[in-house]
Every structure is written in C-alpha cells, then in structure tokens.
Amino acid sequence: MNRPMNRVINRVINRVINRLMAHGSWLMTHDGRPPHVTTGTYQGSNLMYDYDLLVVGSANADLVIGVERRPGAGETVLGSDLTVHPGGKGANQAVAAARLGARTALLARVGDDGHGRLLLDSQRASGVDTVGVLVGGAPTGVALITVDPSGDNSIVVSPGANGRLTPEDVRAAASLFQASRVVSAQLEIPLETVVEVVRNLADDSRFVLNPSPPRPLPSEVLAACDPLIVNEHEAKVILGDSAVGETPEDWARILLAKGPRSVVVTLGAEGALVASAQGVTRVPSVKVAAVDTTGAGDAFTAALAWKLGTGSALPDAAAYAARVGAAAVTKEGAQQSFPTAAEVDALCCANPGDNPRTPGRGSGSAPGTSSQGESQ
C-alpha cells in the first residue's frame, strides 16, 4: 500500500479515536494499559490530530537545590530547600511550544508514580495533548539540578522510564507523526528511538534535533535535521576529529558538510548563528537579567521549531526563539518560567547585542537571553 493511502487511513483512524475519547471511552495502549489521555483544545475540531509540533523525548521530575557555589570533587556544600518541578527536555519543549500557542503533542514515557502524575498534570494544564504519553515500565526519570546565584546550573539525569521509550513505541504512534507539521527530538531517550523517529517522519514534515546530551550521530539522523541545534560543547562532540577551526562559523560549515540541511549554533552572550545552503547569519542576543537558566535551551528549541512550522525563515525563527529563551531565564524553574506569546512580544523592543549572556552556550545557557539553560 502506498504512503498517501496509508496517510488517509491513519487520518480516518485518528478521527474515530478522537471521537471515542470525546465521549469518555478508554483506549488501550499497545502494551495493554489505559493511557492518560487528553484532547485539549482540539476536541471536536476539524483539525483532529493536526499538530504544529510533535515532541518526542524525555519527561523528568526536576529536583532543584540552590547553592552558593557548586561543590568540587569530594566536597559537600549546603543548599536551599529542595523543590520539585516538572521537567525533562521533551516535556519542557512541549510545554514551551504550547504556552506560545502551538498545537502540541508529546510522545514520551513516565512511571506510574507521583512524579509521572506531576508531569502529566503539567502537560495538560499547558494545553499539550498527552495521547502519546505512555505510563509504566520504570520509575519516572529524575534530574538533579543545582543552581548558583548567577543562574547557572549543573544537571545530572537518571533516565528511568525515558530509557524505556523504544522504537516500537514510535512505530505504534505512527499516526501522530503523519499528523504533525514539525517533529522535535533530543537525546535524553535512546538513540535507536531517535533513529526510528526519523524513519517515521511524514513526507512533508520537518525534523528538529537538539543532540543533548551530545554523542556522535548516525548519518541517517544528521541528514534529517533541519536544523540541528547545538551549543559549542555539543558541536565539538558531534564533530569529533573533524572539529577544526576556531570560530562558530567554521563549526557550522563543517557540521553542514556532515549532512544536516541546516544548523543553529547557540553562543551565549554572542547570541546564535544559523547556517544553511543559503549562507551563515548571526542572530544577536537579548539583554535580560538572568535568574535561572534551567530550561531556557528547551524554550529556544521549541520556539524555533514552532516558528519554522509556521513558515518563518530560519534566521527569523532563531531571532524569535532568542527572545523566548531570554524571557525564560528571567524566572525561576523550567516549565513555570516559559513565556506566553504576549510576554515574548514585550521583549521586542529590547536592545540586541549588549546582553551579558544568551542561553545555549554552556551547561545552562541558550541562545537569545542573558543566560539560558541547555538542559531541562
């Protein structure tokens, strides 16, 4: 059966599923468990399962402690009271996009535990469709985060259920891919699962990848990226022995030669640059007072992916994403810091270029803000 016919069949199946859910019927996931389902604002719409963005990735509980400074090897330091927030690069991106107004779905796996329920509640409250969120198989992933007074963070992730999001889960969600304009992924889930995501993309969809935490990528994945979004550290890991040249422009051109259709390199205080067959363009940062960089990189990626899906050119999408990342670092936490479109518009008159730092450069920064978190 050809792909166009498959897409028609998938659309019909999805409409039936959505109507069943609208009437309170429970559907079973492929592993026999009733899923946590919401159709959000799409219930009864003519755009059943027509998403601006499908995020495939991790969902973690962020356990955050404020510290005066991060401890060295063998050292113990005292910190603030522990706070627990919904996080994970995939869940963060989904919430960030939905907060901006994108019709968003999440494909992820959480544990059947309190942290998993926290994550599902957060997604639903933000308007994300959780029909693709699977439950069980392992405890919910956890991120241990320390944040210093400058807003910089250090993060250690225990993958938990994220490591059980499998290629089979991706294939079972094929209808979500067929109904999504843009698909975004990260590397807090197994690499073989990301490979399967690439293989299930709809013919006319766009794939955005932030390879964090970084690792060498197969050519099949690199060739699908449009764009590949990296900071300096991630670029050097992916380039490996090919990491020659001293400037971000050099890294971007070498990365392009490895197969991505486009590349975005985030540069902290220097903003970001975008590279494609049309050339290399610098995107200035936006000056803000950074409070917490956690999650700012995810907000940047989500905003960029959404804007690309609306037809924006890559430099314009990156400039908008820089403002989103900038707004995110002005508040504490990850998901609760993500701005609405109105809040981003309020930054439109900020003076670009004299920003102390833009999120995306180091272990807690992303492009477009004073400072941005590159994880969670």
What DSSP string describes 176-202?
HHHTEEEEEEESSS-HHHHHHHHHT--
Name the burial class of residue 8, with classes exposed (0-12), middle (13-18) and buried (19+) by CB atoms within 10 angstroms of its CB.
exposed
Q: Are strands 180-186 and 51-56 parallel, antiparallel or unpaired?
A: parallel
Active-site option among 113, 129, 298, 345? 298
What count of other Cβ atoms lies within 10 Å of the Cβ of residue 198? 19
Name the burial class of residue 274, with classes exposed (0-12), middle (13-18) and buried (19+) by CB atoms within 10 angstroms of its CB.
buried
Phi-psi region of 50 (alpha: psi -120 to 50; beta: other; left: phi over 0): beta
Cα angle 266, 272, 273 (rounded to 5 degrees) comes to: 110
Extract the tokens encoding 225.
């990226």
Selection from 85, 79, 81, 127 nearest residue 106 by Cα: 127
316 included as an active-site residue: no
Give the burial string for 230-267 (b: 16+ CB within 10 Å, else e).
bbbebbebbbeeeeeeeebeebbebbbebbbbbbbbbb
Phi-psi region of 28 (alpha: psi -120 to 50; beta: other; left: phi over 0): beta
Contact 45, 15 (CB under 8 A): no
Active site (catalytic) residues? 298
